Amino acid sequence: MKYAIIGSGAIGTAIARQFARQGLPVQVANTRGPASLQALADELGPSIIPAQLSDALGADMVFLAVPFDAVNAVLKGAPAWNQRIIIDTTNAIDFSDFSPADLGGRPSTHLIAEAAPGARLVKSFNTMFAKVLARKPDDASGRRVLYLSGDDQAANTAVAGLIERFGYAPIDLGPIAQGGLLQQFGGALTTHSMILQRQGGASLPEMDIISEGEQPAAAATPVQIAETFFAHWSNNRIDAALGMLAKDVLYDNVPFPDITGRAEVAKFHRGFGIGTEFLVDWTVTNISAAGNVVLNERVDIFKHAGGGVISLPVMGTLTVENGEITVWRDYFDAADFDRQLAAIKARQPQTSA
């Protein structure tokens, strides 16, 4: 991958410092020629390569760090882009009153794309002040955040990888029409220095900030996570229990159809009346693990608010990955469940029409 920075002002120089810190070669060019960049190269070291503008515009990944109004003139002599990546670090500013330039509601990066047909544009490196951008990315209580947005996911991924290599925490905001408007001058994310702090915990409910020098709590075993999960259910802490499920969890509640996703699992249980019409008390009678799969036998008690109890023997498994439950399977006698549920309903007072 060949990198280049177009522009040697405050932002271009700040980005050059990050390349120099990593010993990663990068061409630097401006409209005044390579000789004007020699002092910068002498200061930052051999990774900084002064170059002609025409040569730098041929790099695989080009940082555009010039004033927004100068973009068209700078890009005019570029070779065919052929899906090469431009990282747009510009900010469209009306300097008469230092306000966002009137672009008719369009993202500034889309306007730049019109001057570079065939390029893949990614907006990044523009939301913080130049002196902050020049600092070491991890010189605070965590890693400084760099946002990015772009309409080509492969390009976003490539830029995020470089951001990560510099030591920043990349956050992909998605397409330019969404994230780019938040990033460009006047957007909600500009001029802020955001820090991504370390977090850790034995399980998702225990996740917290980890202070400098503090070690994260030892990861809970799959069996411990399962025991906590069932304890939440038995104490009717339904939200806490559901929060231990992975976002894309697979819930195989035999003989019901499979359910995918934490939100859908929550919807299923709420629809049945768990936590409202029924209070639960799940007693684990046997539990063991084979790797990250927890085998369990339970007696699930469902206490109806109007009287009556369902007692259901259950056998199941929980698959635990990275502290989350990714697969939840339960097996029970559906006929026995239906019989007990029907008996409860038969005892409820009937309302007349």
Written as tens digits, the pLDDT of the chain (353 aa) is: 899 999 999 999 999 999 999 999 999 999 999 999 999 999 999 999 999 999 999 999 999 999 988 999 999 889 999 999 999 999 887 777 777 777 777 888 888 999 999 999 999 998 888 898 888 888 657 888 899 999 998 999 999 999 988 988 888 988 988 877 788 777 777 777 777 777 777 666 777 776 665 555 567 899 999 999 999 898 888 888 898 999 999 999 888 899 999 999 999 988 888 878 889 999 999 999 999 999 999 999 999 988 899 999 999 999 999 889 999 999 999 899 899 989 988 877 655 44
Peptide bond just before 313 cis, omega within 30 deg: no
- The Cα-based distances of 143 to 38, 101, 129, 199, 347 in angstroms read 31, 31, 16, 12, 61
- The predicted pLDDT at position 191 comes to 77
The amino acid at 335: A
How far is Cα 269 from Cα 278, in angstroms, rounded to an integer?
10
CA distances from 194 to 45, 135, 142, 185 (A): 29, 13, 9, 16
Alpha carbons 316 and 231: distance in angstroms, whole number: 15
Give the per-residue pLDDT at 81: 93
Cα gap 333→31, rounded to integer Å: 77
Q: In DSSP terms, which residues pair with 124 in a beta bridge? A: 148
List all residues 6 or more positions away from 110 whose beta carbon is below 8 Å from its beta carbon: 121, 176, 177, 180
Region of residue 273 (phi > 0: left; psi between -120 and 50: alpha; otherwise: beta): left
Closest CA to 102 of 66, 141, 68, 150: 68
- DSSP letter string over 171-217? EE--SIIIIIHHHSTTSTTTT---EEE-EE-SSGGG-EE--TTPPPP
Q: What pLDDT shows up at residue 91?
A: 85
Taking the C-alpha atoms of 221, 225, 227 and 231 in order, what is their torsion angle to the nearest 10 degrees? 160
Residue 288 has a pLDDT of 95
Instruction: In whole angstroms, give the CA distance from residue 75 to residue 115.
Output: 7
Closest CA to 277 of 240, 311, 237, 306: 306
Which of 50, 3, 17, 51 has its CA nearest to residue 130?
Answer: 17
DSSP assignments along 290-340, one per residue? ETTEEEEEEEEEEEETTS-EEEEEEEEEEEEETTEEEEEEEE--HHHHHHH
Query: What single DSSP character describes residue 274?
Result: B
Q: Which domains, and CATH codes, for the chain?
A: 3-197 (3.40.50.720), 222-347 (3.10.450.50)
pLDDT at position 213, please?
Answer: 59
Q: At what angle are helices 153-166 and 10-22 packed, to 10 degrees?
A: 70
Classify each residue of 200-230 as buried b or exposed e, where b means 16 or more C-beta atoms within 10 Å of its C-beta.
bbbbbbeeeebeeeeeeeeebebbebbbbbb
Rg (CA), the chain: 29
Number of Cβ atoms within 10 Å of the Cβ of 67: 15
Amino acid identity for residue 76 in this structure: K
Instruction: Give 315's strand partners.
Output: 297, 331
